[in-house]
Amino acid sequence: MCGIAGIVALSANAPSPSRKALLRMVGALAHRGPDERGLYRDQRAGLAHARLSIIDVEGGQQPLSDAGGTSWIVFNGEIFNYIELREQLISLGHRFRSRSDTEVVIQAYRAWGEAAFERMNGQWALAIWDTSANRLVLSRDRTGICPLYICDHQGQLYFASEIKAIFAANLAISRAFNPAGIDQTFTFWSSVPPQTVFHGITELEPGHVRSYGRGAIRDRAFWTPCYATRFEEHRIVSAGCNDVVIDAVRTALERATALRMVRSDVPVGSYLSGGLDSSLIATMGSRFAGRRLQTFSVRFTDAEYDETSYQRLMARTIASEHHELLVSRQDIAKAFPKVIYHTERPILRTAPAPLYLLSNFVRERGIKVVLTGEGADEMFAGYDVFREGKIRRFWSRQPASTRRAALLSRLYPYISRSPVHMQAIAIKFFGHGISVPDMPGFAHSPRWRSTSAIKRLFSDDMRAATSRSDPVTELLDRLPSDFSRWTPLAQDQYLETKTLLSGYLLSSQGDRMLMAHSVEGRFPFLDDDVVQLANSLPDACKLRILDEKHVLKRLAQSQVPPEIVTRKKQPYRTPNALCFADKNAPSYVDEALSGMSIRTANIFDPLAVERLRAKCQAHAHAGDLSNFDNMALVGVLSTQLLFQQFVAGEPRTQHDLELTVDVDHQAVPGVEAW
């Protein structure tokens, strides 16, 4: 992974890109690419790149041009089928100067245009400046692993891997919160692309390509998820999760893992959480490592969240060189401001913080690339929301049945204070809206409603600003045309992917925490072939009755210890509000949550925040805070820190950069205006 940035004049009257602004942009992204920095600039466009060298370490400098020098590219990510694409291009007469996948991308664009992105299997965000057509092309991978943000300001288009680079480029760009993005965050846990939490900043949607040229903007999806329809599910369900299906999933996942291991010029390690997904990936990765695989785990001083025994069991099984990082509540609290600086959005859980510490731990041990199990829950129906949806739909056929409602007790076995242990509360919570099981968002509505309760803390001004629209209605108004034909499980999977995968899991917990310390994450479960296969499977292969990720458990039986395969589902969890509620909390917590700071940001009501904090402090010793209290305190604190760092504070950038590539053309007469 790397950092990309650029400025393009959208009209003839707009000024040429400033070299100083481009240097500030790449300086703000220095953590993403510590190995090399490069710049290209002409009369219309400027491109900047901060490089983390993974493939073709010696010859992959950027910005990079095609052979004729008519197109220039800055590229963040990896194309895992670049060797196969390279061979196709050679057969068409293309010649290459390097072994890098970046050159394959620019040559593929020259050969196939925007259709080239449909041929790529990988993770990327990129920009191509086509000087012959005066066109800028932006593209982002299918599931949104790599970030890409855009700002149109006074005739100039700014784009970058992170918002901080856009703010660093031009201090005149507004730095204010976007109420719609804040509203989405306190509904879905994240803003949903193209929305962000900052005014005037948008995010290119995953699977999209956008071009700017001659006064026109063209935005299209080159990929959209496709699931089995209700008719197809009925037709193929009789086949079940048979050996043919299991072998197909195994083959696709092994190939995806192998590509991510061998297509690298540096060693690849693996995260190991102790769960099924990371265990399966680490097992497969160990076969293709070519040396002893290095694995990395987070341990917790809080026993409720610790999975050490499973992590060590898995490490012994594959004979990896295992590394452990022990994390306490104090460690999380200390790192939290830096975590928010990198997430660039509010978060409702502290879960990214240990991953921020882990990526630093990984980099200190000389590893630049790690495999992770992210994506398995979305693609193979591993989350509790999918089981909730199935139980609630079954219950909706007989709403008065107490036996059907009692099935809720099978949820959340890993939470000692789970609401399902109090049946009356569970029935009231999950029974809301039970009469409309065919309504889009049926499975997600309880948690969206639960998260939205935090908005009771909003200030009067924020309430007024967010009262003009409803994020759920807007989301459901943009559903794909085939949505109603998909199975209920497929609908639930789509919404989980749309609202949470890119914006939170792959961003706040993924790319941002990894790249904060210049570590690239690779995700075999999000391989293009694996995703398409998973989406085509009958529901029973993914959620068999209430057995989540059924096909993965079946194929893991011969590869992963039974203690891990059969253990109850336990998602990655961390201590939350308790990290900030006791008397040992860092001083920044008092400052960020003070009445003056709350009034200055004007997102939350000071008295409501004061009451929330007092409640959390009163219960800190007992540790019996509710789900609402945990989400609310972390959400308020992270929003306040975000305001301090990005709205009230000045953007940070690294100065005195040494450039590896420095192509700075003077103004060329006769360039046609857009």
> With 0-12 CB in 10 A as exposed, 13-18 as middle and 19+ as buried, what is 129?
buried
Quick one: 59 and 153 in the same domain?
yes
- Locate all alpha helices (DSSP H) within 192-328, ordered by sequence: 230-236, 243-262, 276-288, 308-318
Chain-centre distance for alpha carbon 384: 19
Quick one: 166 and 20 in the same domain?
yes
Quick one: 556 and 641 in the same domain?
no
Quick one: 551 and 592 in the same domain?
no
- Which of 190, 223, 256 terminates a domain? The answer is 223
Q: Does position 504 have pLDDT exceeding 90, yes or no?
A: yes
**DSSP one-letter string for 317-329:** HHT-EEEEEEE-H
Quick one: 132 and 21 in the same domain?
yes
Quick one: 311 and 357 in the same domain?
yes
pLDDT at position 421: 53
Higher pLDDT, 132 or 123: 123
Quick one: 276 and 322 in the same domain?
yes
| pLDDT 10s digits, 530-562 | 999 999 999 999 999 999 999 999 999 999 999
Domain that holds residue 591: 578-648
393 within domain boundaries: no
Query: Cβ contacts of residue 338 below 8 Å, gap of 6+?
Result: 356, 516
303 within domain boundaries: yes
439 within domain boundaries: no
Tokens 């504070």 map to which residue?
649
Quick one: 234 and 363 in the same domain?
yes
Q: CA-to-CA distance for 192 and 500, rounded, in angstroms?
A: 8
Q: How many domains does the chain have?
A: 3
Quick one: 77 and 170 in the same domain?
yes
Quick one: 239 and 316 in the same domain?
yes
Q: CA-to-CA distance for 264 and 267, rounded, in angstroms?
A: 7
606 within domain boundaries: yes
Quick one: 67 and 213 in the same domain?
yes
Q: Does position 674 have pLDDT exceeding 50, yes or no?
A: no
- What six digits make up the tokens of 551? 């096909």
CA nearest neighbour of 228 among 493, 459, 3, 413: 493
- Which of 498, 532, 565 terminates a domain? The answer is 565
pLDDT at position 671: 39
Quick one: 368 and 253 in the same domain?
yes
- What six digits make up the tokens of 276? 């099924």
Q: Quick one: average pLDDT of 189-204?
A: 97
Beta carbons within 10 angstroms of residue 402's beta carbon: 10
Q: CA-to-CA distance for 394 and 404, rounded, in angstroms?
A: 7
Among 412-416, 487-491, 496-500, 611-615, name the one with the lowest average pLDDT.
412-416
140 within domain boundaries: yes
pLDDT at position 13: 86
644 within domain boundaries: yes
Q: CA-to-CA distance for 527 and 260, rounded, in angstroms?
A: 9
CATH at 110: 3.60.20.10
Across all residues in the chain, what is the average pLDDT? 92
pLDDT at position 501: 96
- Locate all alpha helices (DSSP H) within 345-444, ordered by sequence: 352-364, 376-379, 384-396, 402-405, 423-431
